[in-house]
Amino acid sequence: MVPISYNLRNLKVRKTTSAAAAFGLALVVFVFASVMMLGNGIKKTIGRSASGDAALVLRKGATAELESVIEEGNVNLVINDTTLPQPASGPRGISESVVVILLDKVGAEGMSNAAVRGIRPESITFRPTFKIVEGRLPQPGSDEVVIGKAIAGRFKGLTLNGSFELTKNRSVKVVGIFEDNGSSNESEVWGDIDTVRTTFKREGYLSAIRVRVSSTQFDSFKASIESNRQLNLQVMKEAEYYEKQSEGTFRFITIMGTMIAVFFSIGAMLGATITMHAAVANRQREIGTLRALGFSKISIMLSFLLESILLSAIGGGIGAVASLAMGMVSFSMVNFASWSEIVFRFEPNAGIIVGAMVFATVMGLVGGFLPAIRAARINPIEAMRA
């Protein structure tokens, strides 16, 4: 086997061509890893909104809170279902109303949708991860709202002590900014449920009911609610609901990003192939000498393949490390399930970095395959005469 030091020396000697090929590979790995991080961020941001011991009740057939309509008279029937014991602390269940409004974006022309959640005081205690970081909670029955940290400052009026219109001639004031463990709730506006329902003429109706249910109680609770045809409601675990909410956006980002990364990778592999072909052409005497010293065709081929993989590993490592900086970047887009803007973060993990390095290695293997075969086929006698 040809020593690895030989390959490292050749990469060092050809600094310009090696650097150019490594840069192209690094760019592809950076794009690939960033796309995977964004997809991971979408799932985690939406998934963090779920509580492991909560069930979500929607109108039968509804796929999101926004399109669900539940009569208020059914709320107590659901929350006080006889299959549920009283929780040790906090409310057993809550009911909320969700609408979407159109707001002007800050720093850009155009408008986008923002989700507005009508809540009751118990909605806060139902979510233990909720925390006011600036200002205070809104007064019940008032035209006051709190906004999530992620959406603060992204729309006109969505700042502490700012104001905006829910509908024409119905303004509300922002009195607080909250955090909720980095969940999609941080991309919402929360206000008094009666204010929200009155503004949008939805008195007597709600969007969803959340109930504290343990895993052992869930099946019996689900059967009890869904078997009551008068209620016309469906029950699912909150975690399952939010997983479905992330599917469309996650799939879109992943497919589009992967397509871009694949197109970029073709260019990077061509660059690696050209670089290695040039290396073979410039090193024919070296190859002839190696053959004369007794190295087999297989050894020569593996040596050039290894050199291509080393080049891709260097470029891939640079791209993977650079992609970690995206963890500090936030990105907003409309979630296809809720049709409201949600702020996501690029969230790296070890699996993504390893996957990016494997992707880089595959590019090096493919890009260096043909040049390696060409090197192995060189006639040692003719090479020594060249």
- At 317-364, the pLDDT tens digits run 999 999 999 888 887 877 777 778 888 888 999 999 999 999 888 888
Overall average pLDDT of the 83-112 stretch: 82
When mean pLDDT is compared across 96-100, 132-136, 181-185, the lowest value belongs to 181-185
Overall average pLDDT of the 157-179 stretch: 93
Overall average pLDDT of the 127-148 stretch: 93
How buried is residue 151: exposed, middle or buried, by Cβ count under 10 Å (0-12/13-18/19+)?
buried
Overall average pLDDT of the 369-379 stretch: 80
Residue 9: the pLDDT is 73
What is the token pair recorded at 249? 């956006």
How wide is the angle at C-alpha 87 spanned by C-alphas 246 and 59, nearest 5°? Answer: 40
pLDDT over threshold 90, residue 209 = yes
- Rounded-to-integer distance, Cα 160 and Cα 165, Å: 15
Provide the residue ranges of all domains of the chain, joining segments of one domain with +.
Answer: 4-47+245-385, 61-231
- pLDDT tens digits, one per residue of 57-82: 999 999 999 999 999 999 988 988 76
List Cβ neighbours of 13 (8 Å cut-off, separation of 6 or more): none
Check: pTM over 0.75? Answer yes or no: yes
SS3 161: coil
pLDDT over threshold 70, residue 229 = yes
Band (131; pLDDT cuts 50, 70, 90): very high
Longest dimension (CA), the chain: 95
Overall average pLDDT of the 180-203 stretch: 92
Across the chain, mean pLDDT equals 86
Contact 348, 324 (CB under 8 A): yes
